[in-house]
Chain A
Amino acid sequence: MKAATVMVAEQAHDELSAAVQRMRDLGAGFSDARSQTVRTTGVSSMNGELRQLTEKSTGGVCLRAWIGGRWGYGTATSFERKDIMTAAEDAVRNARGDGIPGLELEPASVRKHLRADVRIHPDTVELSEKISAAMDLDRAQTIDERIVNSVGSYAEEVKTNHIVNSAGSDISWEEVRTICRAVSVASDGGHMEQYYEGPDSTRGFEIVRDADLESIGRTAATEAIATLSAERAPSGHMTVISDPMVSGLLAHEAMGHASEGDEITKHRSFLSDAVGRKVASDIISMYDNGTVPGAHGSIPFDDEGTPSSCTKIIDHGTYTGYMHSLETASRLGCRPTGNGRAENFGKRVWVRMTNTYFGPGEWDKDELVSETRDGILCDKMVNGMEDPVGGCFEAKCLRGYRIRDGEIAGMVQSFTLTGKSVEILCSADALTKEVILDGGMCGKGIEDWVRVSSGGPYMRAKMIVGGGQ
């Protein structure tokens, strides 16, 4: 192999600029070039023994050419100048779809270079301490022989990005994410249940040092065992108090996906003409906010170089707006909101959420339960699915509690929530004071995973509940 031009993302300016110019020379009306490196460390300990310990490093470039209202992409896992130029030529050659004549993009022209705002950068921490964190989380779950499987895990991701575009932007930034998890599986011989616990954030290793790992592990194990005695959840149309995790899932799945600008330009959203319309009760406000300090979905810039922002989607029950990429903003005559995101340099840019949540209310949780005659209280989410066309959603809950006459009346196994999003939000009549965000991954359709968070307060509303078997 001949000598290569080695570089890291933040040193890529010359090569990326040359690629942008090359695409312009070949006819691109707008072009951008993005380099990215992603370093991950993952540790998992299972049943007292190290199961996974790995360090990964990927990196490459993504070149985009916008010609006559259509995109062409070229990507490569290489930082060699000749490979970057080949990818730039691929991008121009690929811009052969169906154009939108006359559509001009309005990219930002920004020159900024940022490091991640973390107290303890994971790069400064010995690997042995990360291993210990995972093993401590695992060991803390060893409290009862009914725990048949215990997992303690630690994961970090350090991502560097550099974008140069034909509008004059030259941006580089770093993103750091750290996650700890304890997952317990309990069995009584007849059936199995699981529970999980642990923090996530765009903070550094401080989330591990500040955490009580022993308590996190014990909680996961204790609650998994407790779930073994849970009864089957009821089914039907009933009052549900969603916990902050499930409230976030509703915000994300029920309204968030349908507020992504590309779904609007495709007329694929039940919210396509909803601005100014009543879509929820007066107590409901909802946001997508990529600037929340420390939240898992926070980003300084999106993958098109647009600064992140806070989009108010619902204001006291009235629908107010959409999230945008460069393309959807131009098509709808709006400003880009910093929601053009890609899973990595090898994936396309779509309109994606960041941190999506309902605003707070005025109730206390205990007061909310005591004022509920008959219902179900959710405890943690599993996953969910959006339905932007039909205006519905699906939210799977890990477990919950029956509420009868204002009292907790027993634990129930996993169940699923569904219903018409607007009807559910219009039925919402109580929110608690504290908003909590929970980090995770969001796929669009069936792939393209990006890091997000979602959350809200405890929320009471009516929806369809289906208890599993």
Chain B
Amino acid sequence: MRDYEADIALQAMDRYDQAEAFISETVVNTVYIDGTRISNIETKREAGMMFRMAKDGRLGKSSVSLNSDDAVRNCIETADTVLSFSPETPSFKGYAVPAQAKIACPDVWDKKVVEITADDLRDLARRVIENCTVDIPRAQIRVSATESRTVNSNGVDVSHRSTLAYGHFTSMTRGDHAGEGMELYHGIGLDGLDPVRIGRSLSEKAVGSSNSKEFEGSRSLTMILPPDQLGDMLTSSVGSAINGENVKYGRSLWKDSIGKEVASPCIDICDDPTVAAPLSCAFDDEGTPTERRTIIGKGILGGFLRDTFCGDSTGNGMRRSSVEAQGAYDRTPTIKPLNLTVRPGSKSPEELIAETDEGILVERFAWPEADGLTGRFGLNVRCGHLVHKGEIVGTVSNALLMGNMLECIRNVACIGNDPVQMGVVTVPTMSFEGTELVGGN
């Protein structure tokens, strides 16, 4: 792909000790639902490049959208200017070196996504609307096809192509105490997006949450998180603690914990790019081979994720996003899990609830996120179901659930058997002891 631009970049690399070009080309189609009607449909076409180089210990970098003949040369010239002003960076360890793939290239290209039309997307959105009995105030279905290429002066020349499908749906009842629901969809294609199931689930969730009561007082209890809430809680806490750059700069509480117990013995987590997930690939966006890698085994920390900046790259230097294909060329590689996977347990979510004495099943936080530095969280529960002696006894809203995610994974009560792929993570429902719920009065 983009041989013209790649050739110009390769020719310019002779002037530097090391250099690298990343080129991406993307087509994105999106349909939006606003106020239960299909409000607009978009087609986006973009192409761009980032050029990085090193000379005499100095680094240069620039990115451009490929909107003219001169764009590539302008990009290289700007990067060269940046390099000329740059102070020396002693910790630079070099770009990727050529290597054999360690895994078979996962099947992440769905031809149906490439060929989708505005009419197809509109019809899919319409079926969600038809199967939902309440309002859909805001939703979107976005599909994209991206081709990317990494070339560098060490001889790396790897190409990747992938498709991405993402859906975000909200629902709402009307009336004085309106209830809301939400559904997410992540995948490499639309085969798993069932508009009937999503429409019905949106209805059930919104109606269910309209019966919620405001929680009052405070209570220590077990937190039960379904996959769509646990995914971001895990990436923001564990994902941050295993990030090699955070380790390098002393920002990870686990920086000295390799070989030590950081989680319950029942926890096994690996980074698995071998299955079809949005960021699965045989080579990362810097050209380093990827592989299935154990992060935590039986609660013991096995390793960190690294890119070329950290050195000894594990193949986790990524520019692409698991939800948004647009702008990949514009992003400096950062360390990302490719598909952080928690080994599922044997219990169904229903059994998990039945084994909980006092707990809350969180259907929806305002936004599920723990502090990346400390693991702390204090999150507004938009809809949660209180559990008492194994049974759901009520639905609450407008309360704060507090805890520390890095402590929570040491206090795992139970792991479900229902893993769901959510962006860069694949997680089942899990329950954690030692959290506190606080409401008004």
Query: Cβ of A131 and Cβ of B400 under 8 Å apart?
Result: no
Q: Is A170 an interface residue (CB 8 A)?
A: no
Residue of A nearest to B370 (CB): A468
Q: Which residues of B contact A (CB under 8 A)?
A: 4, 31-32, 34-35, 37-48, 59-70, 74-75, 78-79, 81-82, 85-87, 89-91, 118-119, 122, 135, 137-138, 168, 170, 172, 174, 178, 180, 218, 249-251, 253, 323-324, 326-327, 330, 332, 366-367, 371, 373-374, 376-380, 382, 397-404, 407, 434, 436, 438-441
Cβ–Cβ < 8 Å partners of B85 in chain A: 53, 126-128, 131
Which residue in B44, B47, B324, B402 is a CB contact (below 8 Å) of A466? B402
Chain A 89-116 against B: per-residue CB contact (8 Å), 1 yes, 0 no? 0100111111010000000000000000
- Given contacts A187-B250, A414-B376, list 8 more A-B pairs with CB under 8 A: A57-B65, A70-B38, A73-B44, A78-B68, A194-B373, A346-B327, A469-B403, A469-B404
Instruction: State whether B67 touches A390 (Cβ < 8 A).
Output: no
Min CB gap A270→B, angstroms? 8
Is A235's beta carbon under 8 Å from chain B?
yes
Q: Do B380 and A98 touch across chains, with their CB atoms under 8 A apart?
A: no
Give how many A residues have a beta carbon under 8 Å from the other chain's beta carbons: 89
Q: Judge if A365 is at the interface, Cβ distance under 8 Å.
A: no
Closest CB-CB distance, B122 to chain A, in whole Å? 6
Q: Select one of A86, A131, A266, A465 contacting B34, CB under 8 A.
A: A266
Contact A4 B68 (CB under 8 A): yes
CB neighbours (8 Å) of B137 from chain A are: 263, 266-268, 389
Contact A385–B45 (Cβ < 8 Å): no
Residue ranges of A at the interface with B (Cβ–Cβ < 8 Å): 1, 3-6, 46-47, 49-50, 52-60, 70-80, 83, 86-87, 90, 93-98, 100, 126-128, 131, 135, 148-149, 185, 187, 191-194, 235-237, 262-263, 265-268, 346, 348, 382, 385, 387, 389-390, 392-394, 396, 413-416, 418-420, 445-447, 464-469
Q: How far is the CA of A448 from the CA of B127 in the complex (A)?
A: 25
Query: A185-B250, A266-B138 given as contacts; is B37 within 8 A of A97 (CB)?
Result: yes
Which residues of the partner chain A approach B69 to less than 8 Å between Cβ atoms?
1, 3-4, 6
CA distance A392 to B66 in the complex (A): 44
Given A49-B91, A419-B398: A77 and B378 within 8 A (CB)? no
**In the bound complex, do residue B40 and residue A71 qualify as a contact, i.e. CB atoms below 8 Å apart?**
yes
| B310 smallest CB distance to A (angstroms) | 12
Assess whether A390 is in contact with B35, with CB atoms less than 8 Å apart: no
Tell me the bound Cα distance from A191 to B45 in angstroms.
46
**B402 and A237 form a contact (CB under 8 A):** no
How many angstroms from the CA of A447 to the CA of B321 in the assembled complex?
A: 13
Contacting residues, chain B, for A96 (C-beta < 8 A)? 38, 41, 118-119, 122
Closest CB in chain B relative to A418 CB, distance in Å: 5
Q: Is A70 touching B371 in the complex (CB atoms < 8 A)?
A: no
Once the chains bind, are A77 and B48 in contact (CB under 8 Å)?
A: yes
Instruction: Tell me whether A98 and B38 are in contact (CB under 8 A).
Output: yes
- Chain A residues contacting B79 (CB-CB under 8 Å) are 55
4 nearest A-B residue pairs (beta carbon): A466-B400, A416-B378, A97-B38, A71-B40
| CB–CB B438/A58 < 8 A | no
Q: What are 25 A-B interface contacts by the 8 Å CB criterion? A: A1-B4, A6-B69, A49-B90, A55-B79, A57-B63, A57-B64, A57-B74, A58-B327, A94-B41, A95-B41, A97-B41, A127-B85, A149-B251, A236-B218, A262-B34, A268-B172, A392-B397, A414-B371, A419-B398, A419-B440, A420-B398, A464-B440, A468-B404, A469-B404, A469-B407
CB distance from B20 to the nearest CB of A (A): 13
Nearest Cβ distance between residue A191 and chain B, in whole angstroms?
Answer: 7
Nearest neighbor of A267 in chain B, beta-carbon distance: B174
* A225 vs chain B, min Cβ distance (A): 14
A186–B413 alpha-carbon span in the complex (Å): 32
Q: Cα distance A393–B135 when bound, in Å?
A: 22
State in angstroms the CA–CA spacing of A179 and B61 once bound together. 20
CB within 8 A of B42: which of A58, A75, A135, A385? A75
Specify which chain B residues have a CB less than 8 angstroms from the CB of A95 in the assembled complex.
Answer: 40-41
Q: Which of A73, A447, A468 has the most CB of B within 10 A?
A: A468
Q: Which residues of B contact A385 (CB under 8 A)?
A: 366-367, 380
Chain B residue with the shortest CB-CB distance to A347: B326
CB contacts (< 8 Å) of A187 on chain B: these are: 250
User: A446 to chain B: which residues have CB within 8 Å?
Assistant: 168
Query: In the complex, how many angstroms separate the beta carbon of A168 from the nearest chain B beta carbon?
Result: 23
Contact indicator A6/B249 (Cβ below 8 Å) = no
- By a CB distance below 8 angstroms, the chain B residues around A71 are 39-41
> CA A90 – CA B327 in complex, angstroms?
20
**Neighbour of A56 across the interface among B4, B40, B63, B397, CB < 8 A:** B63
Which residues from chain A contact B172 at a C-beta distance below 8 Å? 267-268, 389
A235 touches B218 (CB 8 A): yes
Are B40 and A392 within 8 A (Cβ)? no
For the complex formed, measure the closest distance between the CB of A70 and the CB atoms of chain B, giving whole angstroms.
Answer: 6
In the assembled complex, the CB of A131 is this many whole angstroms from the nearest CB of chain B, namely: 6
List the A side residues contacting B86 at CB < 8 Å: 50, 53, 131
| Known contacts A1-B69, A52-B332, A131-B87, A469 near B44 by CB under 8 Å | no
Contact of B62 among A55, A87, A185, A396 (CB under 8 A): A55
Contact A77 B376, beta carbon cutoff 8 Å: no
The answer on a CB contact under 8 Å between A387 and B366 is yes
Q: In the complex, are the beta carbons of A185 and B373 less than 8 A apart?
A: yes
* B441 engages A237 (CB within 8 Å): yes
Closest chain A CB from B32 CB (angstroms): 7
CA–CA, A452 and B347, complex, Å: 46
- Given the complex of chains A and B, what is the CA–CA distance between A465 and B278 in angstroms? 38
**Which residues from chain A contact B378 at a C-beta distance below 8 Å?**
396, 414-416, 466-468
A235 touches B250 (CB 8 A): no
Nearest-CB residue, chain A, relative to B435: A469
Of all chain A residues, the one with the shortest Cβ separation from B142 is A447
Which of B66, B81, B118, B378 has the most A CB atoms < 10 Å from its CB? B378
Q: Which residues of A contact B42 (CB under 8 A)?
A: 72-75, 94, 348
Q: With A58-B65, A98-B38 in contact, is A346–B70 under 8 Å at CB?
A: no
Contacts A73-B43, A418-B380 given; indicate if A50 touches B59 (C-beta within 8 A): yes
Chain A residues with Cβ under 8 A from B374's Cβ? 191-193, 414, 468
How far, in whole Å, are A464 and B396 apart by their CA atoms in the complex?
15
Contact B68 A77 (CB under 8 A): no
Q: Please determine whether A73 and B41 come into contact, CB atoms closer than 8 angstroms.
A: yes
Known: A56-B64, A348-B40, A445-B168. A192 touches B48 (CB 8 A): no
Distance from A8 Cβ to chain B, minimum over Cβ atoms (Å): 10
Identify the closest chain B residue to A83 (Cβ). Answer: B45
Q: Which residues of A contact B40 (CB under 8 A)?
A: 70-73, 94-95, 97, 348
How many Å from the CB of A219 to the closest CB on chain B?
19
B88 to chain A, nearest CB (A): 8
Residues of B within 8 A of A100 (CB): 37
In whole angstroms, how far apart are the Cα atoms of A135 and B89 in the complex? Answer: 13
Q: How far is the CA of A287 from the CA of B79 in the complex (A)?
A: 42
Q: Are A97 and B39 in contact (CB under 8 A)?
A: yes
Chain B residues positioned under 8 Å from A469 (CB to CB): 376, 402-404, 407, 434, 436
Report whether A468 and B70 are in contact in the complex, using a CB–CB cutoff of 8 Å: no
CB of B400 within 8 A of CB of A235, answer: yes
**Best-surrounded residue of A3, A5, A394 (most CB of chain B within 10 A):** A394
Establish whether residues A149 and B65, one from each chain, have CB atoms under 8 Å apart when the complex forms.
no
Question: Nearest chain-B residue to A466 (Cβ)?
Answer: B400
Residue on B with the closest CB to A5?
A: B68
Question: What A residues does B327 contact at CB under 8 A?
Answer: 58, 346
CB of B244, distance to nearest CB on chain A (Å): 14
Q: How many angstroms from the CA of A389 to the CA of B60 in the assembled complex?
A: 47
Closest to B326 in A: A346
Which among B35, B75, B401, B404 has the greatest number of chain A C-beta atoms within 10 A? B35
Tell me the bound Cα distance from A76 to B326 in angstroms. Answer: 11
How close is B413's CB to chain A, nearest CB, in angstroms?
17
